[in-house]
Amino acid sequence: MGKRRYTVDEIDQMQPDLAKRFRELEAENARLKHAVAVLTVDTLILKEVAEENIRGSARKNSLRR
């Protein structure tokens, strides 16, 4: 996927309806990237908590013996 950034001049040279749609898509893309970043962090936190719970359970079981 290309990471080409359009300049303001290039966007201004587009037909008005295309420029408006382009800006809408860029804004939506930014929102979606932010959502993916937040969900990725949440997933990593949940994995760490799950691993900690598993390790904690193993320690508790070994202490009972």
pLDDT digits (tens, 9 = 90+) for 24-46: 999 999 999 999 999 999 999 99
- Per-residue model confidence (pLDDT) at position 58: 64
End-to-end CA distance of the chain: 56
Which residues 6+ apart lie within 8 Å of 65 measured at CB?
none
pLDDT band for position 10 (cuts 50, 70, 90): confident
Angle at 32 between CA 29 and CA 37, to 5 degrees: 125
